[in-house]
Amino acid sequence: MLMQQLLNGVVVGSVYGLFALGFTLIFGVNHIMNMAHGAVFMWGAFAGLYAVILFDVPFPIALLIGAVGGGMVSVVLDWVAFRPLRKRGAPEFSSIVSSIGASLIMLSLAQQLTATRVMRFPFDIFPIVVFNFMGLRIQLLQLIIVGIVFLMVIGLLYYLYRTKYGRHIRSVAFSEQTSKLLGINPFAVNFQLFFLSGALAGIAGVLIGIVFNSVHFMMGEPLLLRAFVVIILGGLGSIPGALIAGLLIGIIQTLTVAYISAGMADALVFSLLFLVLLVRPTGLLGNSGAVARVTRI
């Protein structure tokens, strides 16, 4: 029973990690607390869901459309809500407010579109295949989800630390002005950054939509709050930190629901956040909160 719950926790937690990655990526480079990340996630899930409902696309295509949809929404968000502020050199606080506004607009649009309904992926979107392994019931979907998240993280790390595009992103994260003096186009970097962030959120959206069997306009908001916990626990701007903290939160949440009560889950998660902040204010993997950036692993 415990092992079964742990497994469920790992599956949910890895998706939390994926969601938080996109959030921490933008924070690490642009120092924006993107409060609209939950809305991007929701629109990614919507893109995947509508592709399935309207065009009957299979699971992998739905994921892809969720990724591209989330990525495009995120890029537009950057153009509308953040780029004008960057141009004027506005303080970071302005972009938080701007993202809250953008988030509300995106939520209202989704609410109008769906008439506040809760929607579901068709049951046959993913074949139900169950393996029995040492008394553990493992669904194929669970394996696939953990595998996808694992691949996404490896891919992201490779992109950031082993390609020239990643080098440009890390350079802009360290100093946009110096990067421009060298010839790096900050618009291109931000385009990639917001697309990546949105694509990760979109994939997380489709996966969460399938796992919890529900897609609705408010689905991103509880995740956004948990993503805060995840990236603060993991250390702001740290990619492995986001993943590890995501797993931790997923496991704690699942175990609390299973053994204590569903209502206590968030209370426990946030208590844990307080505790960690008291003992290690920079998070579990953060080297120092003030200079947290994706430039460092």
**Residue closer to other proteins, measured from CB, 120 or 293:** 293
Rounded CA separation 148/85 (Å): 35
Give the length of the chain.
Answer: 297
* Look-up of token digits 């307080």: 274
Bridge partners for 119 per DSSP:
215
State how far the Cα of 197 lies from the Cα of 204, in Å rounded to an integer: 11
CB 248 to other proteins: min, Å: 26
Beta carbons of 46 and 259 less than 8 angstroms apart: no
- Shorter beta-carbon distance to other proteins: residue 181 or 278: 181
Of 137 and 167, the one with the shorter C-beta distance to other proteins is 167
Q: Minimum CB separation from other proteins for residue 288, in Å?
A: 13
The nearer residue to other proteins, 108 or 185, going by C-beta atoms, is 185
Min dist. Cβ of residue 196 to other proteins (A) = 19
Nearer to other proteins by Cβ, of 34 and 179: the residue is: 179
Beta carbons within 8 Å of 232's beta carbon, 6+ residues apart: 273, 276, 277, 283
Q: Minimum Å distance from CB 286 to other proteins?
A: 14
Binding residues for other proteins (CB under 8 A): 164, 167-168, 170-171, 174-175, 177-186, 293, 295-296
| Cα gap 128→139, rounded to integer Å | 7
Shortest distance in whole angstroms from residue 81 CB to other proteins: 22
How would DSSP label each residue in 162-186? Answer: HSHHHHHHHHHHH-HHHHHHHT--H
